[in-house]
Amino acid sequence: MSLSSIPIYIGAAMIAVAILLSTLITGMTSRYVGLDGPNDENMWLVDRLTGNVYRCQAEGRGKASCEPDIATGSLSDRPRAPKDGR
């Protein structure tokens, strides 16, 4: 390692730290994800940090009440195609 390459290593380390810090901040600020339920009164809230699922209900405008719930299965962004290819 020569003295002329030290600024390159410092720059690369600064970029790596910036990327890691950005990822950490993004992960901490979007901890909860909300999923709409089949009707307007229900919503599912998923804690991305712990994996806990909460079912939230609101009778009208205002604060909703959320209770822990057990969910099974998986979530996907789009419906899967049938296995027979249709």
Q: Are 56 and 65 in contact (CB under 8 A)?
A: yes
Task: Please write the tens of the pLDDT for every residue from 47-80.
Answer: 877 878 888 877 777 677 777 776 655 555 555 5
Q: What is the pTM of this model?
A: 0.42
Spatial contact of 45 and 53, defined as CB atoms under 8 Å apart: yes
